[in-house]
A and B are shown apart, each in its own frame.
Chain A
Amino acid sequence: MKTIAKDILAALVSTLLFAVVLCGLYPVVIWGLSQLLFPHQANGSLIESADRRILGSEWLGQNFTAAKYFHPRPSAAGANGYDAASSSGSNLGPTSQKLIDAVKQRVADYRKENGLAAEALVPCDAVTSSGSGLDPHISVKNALLQASRVATARGQSMEAVKTAIAKFTDAPSLGILGEPGVNVLKLNLALEGSIRD
């Protein structure tokens, strides 16, 4: 009995002590160092306009539907997609009627919007929703298929649009990790002239 009482007391005190060290000191020290060393990243990699309004974050995709913008992947985050306060995938399985119906519609829309032939292959990322619903990237293949639509809508040359795609393609980390992806928000903002880079 005495040892149990002793252990309960030890459990209580250690829980409180660990709460102070691990949940108080540790995150605050990391916060201080992060703000000092990497303030841009630690605060959400925000993209701001010339008049200091927040336009978005480099890492969070946004919805674009007009022809003059590159379109991101379909999104299952929130009721309307790209709701960054409720990240989510569709969680639909491979034999879900709902998923296949939605993808079928997206394939048709994608071919129509981009003037593709009826039997043209469509990139998978263009018609499937991402894991987070906030995927900032599309595949390079997908961006190139959208390039002529965007160039026409903007009255810009294909050359200029393709140069912009190349510029906003994030290469694999260290040259080999992961896949290249085109950052849709940054690309659209640059084409719009809202940000310089």
Chain B
Amino acid sequence: MNSSGWIQLILYVGVLLAITKPLGLYLCRVLDANGKTFLDPVFKPLERLTYKLIGVDPKQEHDWKRYAAAMLLFSLVSMLFTYAILRLQAMLPLNPQKLGALSEHLAFNTAASFTTNTNWQSYGGEGTMSYLSQMVALTIHNFVSAAVGIGIAAALVRGIARHTAATIGNFWVDLTRVTYYLLLPICAVLALVLVSQGMIQNFKPFDSAALVEPFTVQVPQVDAGGNAVNGPDGKPAMTDQKIDTQTIVQGPMASQVAIKMLGTNGGGYTNANAAQPFENPTPLSNFLEILAIFAIPSALTYYLGRMVKNQGHGWAVWAAMFALFLAGTLVCWHYEAAGNPNFAALGIDPADGNMEGKEVRFGIFNSALFATITTDASCGAVNSMHDSFTPLGGLIPMLNIQLGEVVFGGVGAGLYGMLIYVVIAVFIAGLMVGRTPEYLGKKIEPYDMKMASFVILVLAFSILGFTAWASVSPMGLPDAAGKATDGTNNAGPHGFSEMLYAYSSCTGNNGSAFAGLTANAPWYDTTLGLATLFGRFAMIVPILALAGSLARKKLVAESAGTFPVSGPLFTSLVVGTVLLVGALTFVPALVLGPVVEHFLMHAGKLF
């Protein structure tokens, strides 16, 4: 944990803090159907045209049920759209590498995963997806799933801010305005800056480079029909293959990467995601990518404060998120810098930390920071391989996801997730002082608590339920996934961690992985796809119900016994609630995976 890391951390936090208020004020305008922005001259005509074409009256607001129905129908239709493109990929244009169609289970998994803002990838991007699939089938969800999330957060905030009101906003207006006024312009600027750093943006076929030092490898000999040939000794015959070229991936990457970060989607253009040098060429591009992840979630806390006319509350929520972010970053950084004792025993410089799965240009600090941020939020892009982290370094990303990704969180999803914890926190505070719990002048009643509890339970049920099934079912064994046969999967507690991480990541709509698990098998594709759908929609619907319930309530006057929702006491209570609920739910599973692996690693036990 060197001084350069500390300086970079302070710089990151400083810039994040500096953009929170201006971007938050801008969000207030975007999320108001009548709000005026400096981009009106460009986008107002497009916005009007959109309403006209889709037949929506922007002045009309809806109750929570209509909002939820529109959101669900839109998600279903856009998911089918993506599924259809992926299944028909081979017949569609913009496919210079002549890639084939995706299987049913992979197309379902991918469509569910992108619709839910998860971007879990059971495939390797550059070898599976045509330019059209990347650009249309996937990128559309990067935008609209982010816009949906921000819309839901805005609907919940409206529910909190309003009283005796029947409506919480218009889904179509939120979707349209967030997409045009917020996501599109920021992405356009970000994409160009990323290109200046070395990211590709073109439509040409892959290039082929002539290697400076060609080499020869032994490959199994095949006949004209593609069948393996046996030599005279009866064993498969081998033949020399000269490797003298390197394929250089090309395509429209920057436009997609900008929204994948800003929209906290995280789905990589390439298999190695933001570790692949084109996808994250320099430490500056890395800085901008992680700033893009937290920018909107951080600004949304300011939006919350402004809307409920209690800026102290907004900052108290920000502070709770920041405390959890800082703790996670420091723990992850510490254990990655401390490195793997098995490496030190071999004579590797212990000062270098654990560089397995990390890139030289990012080093230990930026890899640990990226891993913490991408899982605090529901982003899931990675610039290093979490699977190769030390056990406790890798525990942080997993725990971040299991806490519900409320540490700034996904765009919109982070705020509405955190507000569920806030409701639970004021409920606990109310019980402690023996009063009916109140939140910003609203009585929190049994119906509200049922909805909040439901959200917490969905998370636990889906993560732990599916992991348990995968652990005991033959379909969840590594060889059912296909990789144990060649021995590349991880055995022992690390194998369990891979499954736990996979269901955490999908339920939490994160999308990062302990990627040693070969998930592109029918059972994993299907269950992981279902986990993404539960994790998204089984949470959003009760959250919208809560928004509707809060909007209808009457205001009660503040009294001396009202628990203040700003200040350090409130922040500590929220942090405590997040940790308590998360810890009680997931500690037993974490002990079986990363914690036990940590002790076995120090005892020198290998698997």
CA distance A176 to B11 in the complex (A): 10
CA distance A55 to B208 in the complex (A): 8
Contacts of B490 in A (CB 8 A): 91-93, 96
CA distance A45 to B7 in the complex (A): 30
Give a binary string over B506-520; 1 marks a CB under 8 Å from any A CB, 0 the rest. 000000001110000
Q: Is B420 an interface residue (CB 8 A)?
A: no
Contacts of B7 in A (CB 8 A): 176
Give, as a whole number of angstroms, the nearest-CB distance from A140 to chain B: 9
Q: Residue of B at shortest CB range from A8? A: B73
Contacts of A80 in B (CB 8 A): 215, 217, 243
- CB pair B597–A94 under 8 Å, yes or no, is yes
Contacts of B140 in A (CB 8 A): 15, 18-19, 22-23
CA distance A23 to B514 in the complex (A): 30
CA distance A112 to B553 in the complex (A): 76
- CB pair B53–A99 under 8 Å, yes or no, is no
Give, as a whole number of angstroms, the nearest-CB distance from A173 to chain B: 4
Give a binary string over B184-211; 1 marks a CB under 8 Å from any A CB, 0 the rest. 1001100110011111111110111111
Contacts of A69 in B (CB 8 A): 212-213
- CB pair A26–B255 under 8 Å, yes or no, is yes
Q: How large is the interface on A (under 10, 10 to 19, 20 to 34, 35 or more residues)?
A: 35 or more
Contacts of B135 in A (CB 8 A): 23, 27
Which one of B76-84, B436-444, B452-460 is at the A interface?
B76-84
- CB pair A59–B73 under 8 Å, yes or no, is no
CA distance A60 to B4 in the complex (A): 26
CB within 8 Å for A22 and B179 given contacts A94-B390, A119-B347, A179-B363: yes
User: CB within 8 Å of B: which of A1-55?
Assistant: 3-4, 6-15, 17-19, 21-24, 26-27, 29-31, 33-35, 37-38, 41-46, 49, 53-55
Contacts of B287 in A (CB 8 A): 173, 177
- CB pair B188–A26 under 8 Å, yes or no, is yes
- CB pair A41–B607 under 8 Å, yes or no, is no
- CB pair B356–A97 under 8 Å, yes or no, is no
Contacts of A148 in B (CB 8 A): none
CB within 8 Å for A124 and B492 given contacts A22-B179, A88-B272: no
Contacts of A59 in B (CB 8 A): 198, 277-278, 281
**Which of these, B46, B78, B179, B360, contacts A11 with CB under 8 Å?**
B78
CB within 8 Å for A94 and B601 given contacts A15-B77, A64-B212, A192-B212: yes
Q: Is A130 an interface residue (CB 8 A)?
A: yes
- CB pair B357–A90 under 8 Å, yes or no, is yes
Q: Is B236 an interface residue (CB 8 A)?
A: no
CA distance A12 to B81 in the complex (A): 9
